[in-house]
Structure 1
Amino acid sequence: MRYSILGRTGLKVSRICLGTATFGVAPDAREAGRLVGAALDLGINFIDTADSYGNMPVFDRPGAPAAADREPAEQILGRALRGRRDEAVIATKSQVHVGPGINDGGLSRRHIIRQVEASLRRLGTDYIDLYYAHNPDPDTPLEQTLGAYDDLIRQGKIRYIGLSNHPAWQLVHALWLADDRRYCGPVATQVKYNLIDRKTERELAPACEEFRVSIIPYAPLHGGLLADLRVLDRGISGDQRFAGSGFTSGEIKTARELDRLSREWGLALNQSSLAWLLSRPAVASAIVGAESVKELRANASAADVDLDKDQLAAITALTGAPA
C-alpha cells in the first residue's frame, strides 16, 4: 500500500480508502467486520463513513434486512475496530436528515455538536480524525458551521475538517473565512470523480491544487462499471441501486475501451481506472466500497500500479476534458 499526505496536515492516509456506505446490506454486518480487519492488514488505514450510512432506506436491497432492522454503519465499524482503533484514520460526516425532527439535519451548531457526540458513541472512540460537512446547507451561514467545527477541534473531539459535495467557490470561501477568523480550515474535499464523471476538473481540482486541499473521490469506479464489465450482467446497473438511471451507452463504450487497453497492458479494468484517478492532481485517496475481502484486495492492488505517461494520456483521451 502507498500513502499520501492529507492536505496540509502531515497525516498519512492510504491511497485506497474503505467506504462503508452499504455496511449492513452488502456486506452484512458480520462480513463487514472481516472486511475492516482485512483492510487494516492490507495497509488500508483510511476508512470513510457517515452518520447516515447503513440503516437508511436509500440503501435497501432485495434480500437485505429492512432499514429499521439494520445497525448504523458507524456502529458496525466501531465494533470492527475494537483493539485496532489507533491503526485507522476515521472520516465521518453529518448534514443529511437522520431523524423526523425539523432540526435533525443541516449544518447548524446544534446539529453538528449532537451528531459528533452520537458518532463518537457509535464508533466507540473519543476522537474523529476527519469530519466532513456532508453537503452544503443553504440555511446555515458557513461561518457558523466552521465555528462549531473549530470549537470541536479545540475540545479534541475532531482532528481535521473537510467539505463534501461543495462547489469550488464554497471551498475557497471556507478557506478565506477560516484564515480571517483563525479557524482550522478544510483540509480535504470529498466529491464524485472518476474517468466518466470529470466535472471536478473544471474548477474544484485547480482550487484544491492551489490551496493544498486533498480531493477524496467517491464512486471512483462509477457504480462498478469501471471495475468489471460483468457488472452489466448483474441486473443492477450503476446508480440504479440508489434510484439512479443506470449506465448510458456512451459510458459503456468508454468502459469497454478502457477494458481493452487494460488487457493490452496486463492490467485489470479496476486497476487502470483507479491508477489513473490516483494520478490526477490533488487526489490523495479513492473511496472504494467492497462486498468481499477478495474484491477489496483487487482494488487495493491498484495503489501499487504505476502507469507511464503514454498510458495516462491514452486513458485521459477516452473522455476528454469536461466542457
Structure 2
Amino acid sequence: MRLPMRYRMLDGTGLEVSELCLGSATFGVAPVAEAAIALVHRAIDAGINFIDTANSYGNQSRFDRAGVVAAPHRAWAEEILGTALMGCRDRVVLSSKVGEPVGSTPNSGSWEGGGLTRRHIVGQLETTLRRLGTDHLDIYYAHHPDPKTPVEEWLSTFDDLIRAGKIRHYALSTFTGWQLMESVLSARPRGLRAPACHQTRYSVVDRWVEREVLPASRHGHLSTVVFSPLAGGLLTSSYGSALVGASRWGGPAPSLATEAAVRRCHDLARDWGRPVEELALGWLLARQDVGSLVVGPESSVQLEELVAATEASLSAEELAELDGVTPPPEPFWHGQS
C-alpha cells in the first residue's frame, strides 16, 4: 500500500508543506497547458500541497523546444496554474517570485538587478495575483539578489505587502550566504519581518551550497527549499535526453565532473536495484534543514515516479556511499581566498 505524502514545517511560518513541491517553470511547454492543468490536479490528489511558480516562467524564449508553440503565443505559467487552481486554491501553499526580466523596458526587471525595486515588486505582484486568480500568495520570493536596489527598500516593501494581506511570507532565492545574512540582519533591527525560507540549487552531484549558503541559512533560521534536486533531469530515467540539466531552462551543459558523478549515481542505482530518483531525493531528504524539494515532472507518469521515490528510505551505508559521489566543498575559513 502506498504511504501518504510526508510533510515538514517551514521554520517560523507555521506552514506544513509536502516533501515534494510541484514546480511550474516549463508549464506550457512540457507539459503543454492542458496537460499541466491535469498534472496539478494529480499532484494535489497525491498529497502535494506546495506549488511553486514565478512571474517569468512559461512564455519566454529560453523555454522554447522543437514542436512546441513559440513563446509569444504561449500563456504565462502563472496563468496556467491559476486555471488549474480554480476551486482548490485553499488546498495548497502557493509561492511565486519576482525579479527576473519580464520585458525590455528599463523598469521591467533584469538579470543584473533592478527587479526588487518597490515599483517593480508591487506592480508585478498585482499581475501575479490576477494571473493566479487569488487575492494573496503564501510565499513571495525575491527571485535573485538585486545589487542595484538598497536592501532596505525591498525588505520594507515585502513587509508592507504582508501588512496589506497581499502575501503571508516573503522568501529569498539563489542568494549567497552573506546576502542571506545581510537580509536577516538588516530586517530585524528595523522591526521588519525576516525572510521565511531560502530556495537554492542543490543535489548529490551539485553540493556547492554546503560551503557557505547552508551554514548561513542555518544561522539565520531559514528553512531550505531545494530546486533542481534531480540536477535538471540528469538523475532520472530521462538521462541521455538532449533536454536535461540546465538546458531545460536555457542554461549551460553539465561539466565533465558533473557528468562523471551522474554516471556514478546511475551505476549505484543499477547495483542496488533502485530507481536513481530514489537515491537523489532520499539523499537530500536526509540532509539537515531541507524543507521541501521542487520537482518539475513533465507528465503524470513522471509525477507518479517521483512521489513513489519519496516513499523509500536509504540506509546509513547507502547514504555514506552517496556522500562519496561528489566530495563536499572545502569549508570556508577566515582569510582563505
Q: Shorter-chain TM-score category?
A: over 0.9
Aligned to 1:38: 42
Residue 27 of structure 1: CA displacement? Answer: 0.3
Aligned to 1:208: 217
Question: What letter corresponds to residue 279 of structure 1 in structure 2?
Answer: A
Tell me if 1:48 matches 2:60. Answer: no
TM norm structure 2: 0.92
Which consecutive unaligned segments of at least 5 residues does structure 2 have? 110-114, 331-337
Residue 237 of structure 1: CA displacement? Answer: 4.8
**1:5-55 per-position Cα deviation (integer Å, ceiling 9, x unaligned):** 112212000110101001000100000000000000000011110000001
Question: What letter corresponds to residue 102 of structure 1 in structure 2?
Answer: P
Provide the C-alpha distance between the structure 2 equivalents of 1:2 and 1:303, rounded to a whole number of angstroms.
Answer: 9
Residue 286 of structure 1: CA displacement? Answer: 0.8
Q: 1:23 aligns with which of 27, 48, 57?
A: 27
Residue 124 of structure 1: CA displacement? Answer: 0.2
Residue 110 of structure 1: CA displacement? Answer: 0.7
Residue 227 of structure 1: CA displacement? Answer: 1.4
TM norm structure 1: 0.96
Tell me if 1:2 matches 2:6. Answer: yes
**1:106-141 per-position Cα deviation (integer Å, ceiling 9, x unaligned):** 100111000111111000001100000001111101
Q: 1:322 aligns with which of 321, 329, 332?
A: 329
Question: What letter corresponds to residue 186 of structure 1 in structure 2?
Answer: P
Would the aligned equivalents of 2:136 and 2:168 in 1 still touch at CA under 8 Å? yes
Would the aligned equivalents of 1:205 and 1:281 in 2 still touch at CA under 8 Å? no
Provide the C-alpha distance between the structure 2 equivalents of 1:237 and 1:258, rounded to a whole number of angstroms.
Answer: 15
Residue 260 of structure 1: CA displacement? Answer: 2.6
Would the aligned equivalents of 1:161 and 1:187 in 2 still touch at CA under 8 Å? yes
Provide the C-alpha distance between the structure 1 equivalents of 2:301 and 2:315, rounded to a whole number of angstroms.
Answer: 27
Would the aligned equivalents of 2:52 and 2:96 in 1 still touch at CA under 8 Å? yes
Question: What letter corresponds to residue 112 of structure 1 in structure 2?
Answer: I
Provide the C-alpha distance between the structure 2 equivalents of 1:53 and 1:286, rounded to a whole number of angstroms.
Answer: 18
- Cα 1:187–1:61, aligned 2, differ >3 Å: closer, same or farther? same
Question: What letter corresponds to residue 299 of structure 1 in structure 2?
Answer: L
Aligned to 1:283: 290
Aligned to 1:158: 167
Aligned to 2:335: none
What SS does the aligned partner of 2:225 have? strand
Q: 1:231 aligns with which of 222, 236, 239?
A: 239
Would the aligned equivalents of 1:18 and 1:287 in 2 still touch at CA under 8 Å? yes
- Range that drifts further, 249-258 or 151-160: 249-258
**1:273-306 per-position Cα deviation (integer Å, ceiling 9, x unaligned):** 0110121121111111011011011112232222
Question: What letter corresponds to residue 184 of structure 1 in structure 2?
Answer: R
Question: What letter corresponds to residue 13 of structure 1 in structure 2?
Answer: V
Residue 254 of structure 1: CA displacement? Answer: 1.8
Would the aligned equivalents of 1:91 and 1:132 in 2 still touch at CA under 8 Å? yes
Report 1:262-301 matches (<5 A): 262-301=269-308
What SS does the aligned partner of 2:196 have? strand
Q: 1:113 aligns with which of 105, 109, 122?
A: 122
Provide the C-alpha distance between the structure 2 equivalents of 1:269 and 1:129, rounded to a whole number of angstroms.
Answer: 32
Query: How many matched pairs?
Result: 321
Provide the C-alpha distance between the structure 2 equivalents of 1:172 and 1:245, rounded to a whole number of angstroms.
Answer: 29
Residue 152 of structure 1: CA displacement? Answer: 0.4
- Range that drifts further, 127-136 or 241-250: 241-250
What SS does the aligned partner of 2:239 have? helix
Would the aligned equivalents of 2:21 and 2:48 in 1 still touch at CA under 8 Å? yes
Residue 81 of structure 1: CA displacement? Answer: 0.5
Aligned to 2:83: 79
Provide the C-alpha distance between the structure 2 equivalents of 1:62 and 1:147, rounded to a whole number of angstroms.
Answer: 43
Q: 2:200 aligns with which of 188, 191, 194?
A: 191
What SS does the aligned partner of 1:96 have? coil
Provide the C-alpha distance between the structure 2 equivalents of 1:248 and 1:71, rounded to a whole number of angstroms.
Answer: 33
- Cα 1:20–1:243, aligned 2, differ >3 Å: closer, same or farther? closer
Question: What letter corresponds to residue 169 of structure 2 in structure 1?
Answer: Y
Provide the C-alpha distance between the structure 1 equivalents of 2:161 and 2:260, rounded to a whole number of angstroms.
Answer: 47
Report 1:302-317 matches (<5 A): 302-317=309-324
What SS does the aligned partner of 1:216 have? strand
Which consecutive unaligned segments of at least 5 residues does structure 1 have? none
Q: Give percent identity, aligned residues only.
A: 45
Question: What letter corresponds to residue 85 of structure 1 in structure 2?
Answer: R
Provide the C-alpha distance between the structure 2 equivalents of 1:60 and 1:136, rounded to a whole number of angstroms.
Answer: 26
Would the aligned equivalents of 2:129 and 2:136 in 1 still touch at CA under 8 Å? yes
